[in-house]
Structure 1
Amino acid sequence: MLSPEQAVDRIRAAFGPPPGYRTLHAKGAFYTGTFTASPEATALSRAGHLTGEPVPVTVRWSNAGGNPRVPDPKPDIRGMAVSFRLADGTATDLLGQTSPRFPTDDPEEFVALTEASVRPLTVPLFLARHPRMAASVLGGFKALAPPVSFAEATFYPIHAYGWVDGAGTRTWVRYRFVPVATPADRLPQTFSGPDRLREEIAARLARGPVEHDVVVQVAGPGHDPHSATSVWKGAKELVAGRISVTETVPDPELDGAVIVFDPTRVVDGLELSDDPILRYRAGAYSESVSRRTQSHGG
């Protein structure tokens, strides 16, 4: 299997990011707010951020690629990373993307697709060589369109997690972040520059909170929680709570700090699936963080 070191080497070679930046999702900004869980979520998990009391969150909206200077009008997947900070000082993270499905359960195939995406004309040749990925990749093209605002985009944390209640009963769930904002809520001014999404969201936040409902699918018979490519047809859904982003914060990484959103960081009341992409990400993130730390002289 492709090692995390090899994966990071190949992706960084494809995008050529400057030292100190993330291997992917290199362009982004930080925000703070709160998350409040619903009674339905509280009934299914004993996790500390699902009690129904508001908990602080750190949010990072981003472009998916490894180029920190990519202009916002360029087609790209967008990301919404959320770190939930519990009262006991622990944290757990979810990483959403605007593409609703992951194209493969094989980390090496994902790296190869990422390399091909840097040169769009090579994507058809890649798909010809990997036909089973074609439906997912082609279906995700809509997600590449630049959104009007991060506030209007839906984000999909692609992995399933086990929710464990006070009696030890486990329920598998899969999330999505659904915007509360609608086109009717748009600001009167327009934003068209290379950083238009960041400028637009800052203007929105000056007016009031930006909110996303956390909606979860609940796995039923025949639904596979251990594959990022699986489709849960007919799954029951419930609103698990709401993320309310309230303000922009200065980028802590400008001073050399390394902030990590890790989808494998869980707390009591949550369990990881055996999804091979999810399990692989921890090692790849660790390697990417190591490169960033070294570049800052750490």
Structure 2
Amino acid sequence: MADPVQEAVDAMEKHTGTVQGYRRAHPRGLVFHATFTPTPEARPLTAAEHFQGPPVHTLVRFSNASGSPHAPDRGSDRQGAVLGLAVRFDLPSGKHATWAAANIPAFVARTPEEFLQVTRAQRPNASPHPLRMLGYILTHLHALPGIRGIVGTKPAPSFAHCQYNSVHAYHLVDAQGQRRAFRYRWVPSAGAATLSPAEARKRPEQYLLDELRERVSRERVTFNLVFQLANPGDPTHDATRPWPEDRQKIPAGQLVIDSLYEDQRESERFVFDPTGVVPGIELSDDPILHFRAKVYSESYNRRSSETKPEPKPADLRQ
């Protein structure tokens, strides 16, 4: 019987333009030092240690979600790319908690089998195969919110002007053991913004990481963490279904990007697994969330045993 994790990573390598030695997804990225400060409103909702006291050091990785490190930062002058913000909280206990979010409202698959199907509907140039993708959509109408989110993404002027969503549900667990389902989002303090087609046309194919590096060198880049709390009956098992916007939202903390991480090659050893939770936060019953952990692990195992191509001179800073 075929191993679904092996099948998924094989499909990513075949259909999304991956390069040996790189991550199988989100391969083009930069890691920054950051500081996370929780809010008083978050403390009673969860016993997780990074929400209980003073600020904690955090590593943040911004990335282009395409499978290829050479993919452009926009699909066209009117369509942007899926971008990611991943965090690793360095906890007072010496442990780490890790999350990964993206600038889309929903995922495009709700089971590992569907993930394999939609991956096989891609082409190595980071564009969908029209007939395969149409067939997937017609037989998986529940994926439309995620697909609309990807197609509707506009070119971004900066990582600092995007909102990043957890997509998956989790559970907050307070000191008394009470559980509450939630999703989270990182809201940019600079405000959400997009480029017009004319503005996008003036940008090089890959510009977002250079722009962010320069921005962080001269000003604070901050994001506000917001918990979206579920109502009874809201699904926690389906990453393709966003919850209604009228659900209660709690300000949970602020993330301040401080400086570029000193050794970007070393940072490639970090795995920003979205299932890396600690007591006080629990995983939901979302099968894709649990599956992602296994895919991340297999991706790490493969790239760590490969020889990564030497970077071009222009890429040495990354």
Does structure 1 retain, via aligned residues, the 8 Å contact 2:105–2:146?
A: no
Superposition map of 1:64-79 within 5 A? 64-74=65-75, 75-79=80-84
Aligned position for 1:14: 15
Amino acid aligned to 1:238: I
- In structure 2, runs of 5+ residues without a counterpart are 309-318
| Residue 182 of structure 2: aligned partner | 173
Closer/same/farther in 2, CA of residues 226 and 126 from structure 1, 3 Å limit? closer
2:100 maps to 95
TM-score, scaled to structure 2 = 0.85
CA offsets 1:275-298 (integer angstroms, 9 cap, x no match): 10011111111111110111159x
Residue 101 of structure 2 contacts residue 166 of structure 2 at CA under 8 Å; is this kept in 1?
Answer: yes
C-alpha distance in structure 1 between counterparts of 2:97 and 2:267, whole Å: 23
Residue 284 (structure 2) aligns with? 273
- Structure 2 equivalent of residue 244 of structure 1: 256
Alignment-mate amino acid for residue 49 of structure 2: G
Letter in 2 for 1:224: P
Deviation at residue 2 of structure 1 after TM alignment: 5.9
* 1:194 corresponds to: 205
Number of residue-to-residue matches in the alignment: 292
**TM-score (normalised: structure 1):** 0.90
Q: Cα distance 1:270–1:124, how it changes in 2: closer, same or farther (>3 A)?
A: same
Task: Give how far 1:227 is off.
Answer: 2.2
Q: 1:224 aligns with which of 235, 241, 262?
A: 235
What letter corresponds to residue 226 of structure 2 in structure 1? V
Equivalent position amino acid for 1:23 in 2: R
Distance 1:43 1:24 in 2: 35
The answer on whether the counterparts of 2:39 and 2:51 sit within 8 Å (CA) in structure 1 is yes
The aligned counterpart of 1:142 is 152
Other-structure match for 1:157: 166
Matched, 1:50 2:51: yes
Kept after mapping to 1: 8 A contact 2:108/2:115:
yes
2:314 corresponding residue in structure 1: none
- Which of 133, 141, 158 lines up with 2:143 in the alignment? 133
Instruction: Check whether the contact 2:142–2:241 (CA below 8 A) recurs between aligned residues.
Output: no
CA distance in 2, matches of 1:52, 1:63: 33
Q: Contact 1:223–1:230 at 8 Å: present in 2 too? A: no
Identity %: 36
Quote the offset at 1:257 in angstroms.
Answer: 5.1
C-alpha separation in 1, matches of 2:236 and 2:191:
31
Q: Residues 15-30 of structure 1: matches in 2 within 5 Å? A: 15-30=16-31
Q: 8 Å contact 2:45–2:174 — kept in the other structure?
A: yes
Compare 150-159 and 192-201 and name the one that shifted more: 192-201
RMSD: 2.4
After superposition, the Cα gap between the structure-2 partners of 1:129 and 1:219, relative to the gap in structure 1 and judged at 3 Å, is closer
CA distance in 2, matches of 1:47, 1:256: 25
